[in-house]
Amino acid sequence: MIPVARTPATCEDGGMSDALDFLVKLLDIEPIEVNIFRGVSPDEHRQRVFGGQVAAQSLMAAGRTVERGRVHSLHAYFLRPGDPTVPILYEVDRIRDGRSFTTRRVVAIQHGQAIFNMATSFHVEEEGPLEHQFPMPEVPDPESLPTLRERLEPYRDRLAEWFARPHPIDQRHIGRLPWAAEEAGDEPVQRLWIRADGQLPDDPLLHACIATYASDMSLFDTMLAPHAVHWDDADFMGASLDHCMWFHRPFRADEWLLYDMDSPTAYGARGLARGFLFTRDGRLAVSMVQEGLMRVVSRASTRLEP
């Protein structure tokens, strides 16, 4: 088990913060056999493994079996809550190695059961004359916005240990924090700037994995924005059900990315959220969609399995 980073996360010299260095090591999964890798979780008091971690480690496992091309899409299902106290085995199935596209399937296993399943595809870069994209929304520059720690100061007592924990992703929220609303009625829209807290190596797969990790930190909050519901409410059960991403253009996860999110609908105990990552110069780099379980129960329950 890897111990959790306890040193300050902020990087002042342009290098890599301790929290980001910890995350990079977390994603450096161990090969233990052909097509089989082992990953661990931070030594934290979590009820389950963070979904973004499992998705990022799965993508890293798939990418390490690919010789040509960059990841262009992933489609994943969260099947069972991950146990943070034991390692996760990642089994990679080499579905196809083609001239332009390579396909992999990854199954994450704990206690003899699949907890996560991902299909991912890699594409050899090529030129194409047909190109368009949505324009990036006009928003304040990230430097003009307070840090996440500054925004969370009023909630220090409520967040306790989570507040004190260093974070590998620098987040600058635009507008009200999604979990700050006490009453229903907010628009299901959220925008923030994100970047890795320090400089990463020039490895496109690592940058994609960092973006995958970060993408699962905010989408669900967008689904909850119109509702007077919080993660720590005793009568609420929430969990990510599936997660899809499309990587359109090259980007660096250690440079500012605008994370633009909305939630078109929620119905039948399920909500849907969309996200778009724009580079600072306005290029649409990544698109994603996530569906989540939004269950209101009559009695508190610690079991979050869908």
Show which residues are catalytic: 216, 240, 290
Beta strand 2-3 with 42-43 is: parallel
Q: What is the dihedral of CA 176, 42, 63, 71, to 10 degrees?
A: 0
How far is it, in rounded angstroms, from Cα 261 to Cα 221?
A: 10
DSSP states of the chain: -EEPP-S----SSSSB-HHHHHHHHHHSPEEEETTEEEE--EES--SS--HHHHHHHHHHHHHTT--S-EEEEEEEEE-S---TTS-EEEEEEEEEE-SSEEEEEEEEEETTEEEEEEEEEEE-----S----PPPPP---GGGS--HHHHHGGGHHHHTHHHHS--SEEEEEESS-TT--SSS---SEEEEEEEESBPPPS-HHHHHHHHHHHHTTTHHHHHHTTSS--TT-TTEEEEEEEEEEEE-S---TTS-EEEEEEEEEEETTEEEEEEEEEETTS-EEEEEEEEEEEEE-SS-------
How far is it, in rounded angstroms, from Cα 297 to Cα 302?
A: 11
Amino acid identity at 19: A
How far is it, in rounded angstroms, from Cα 11 to Cα 122?
A: 32
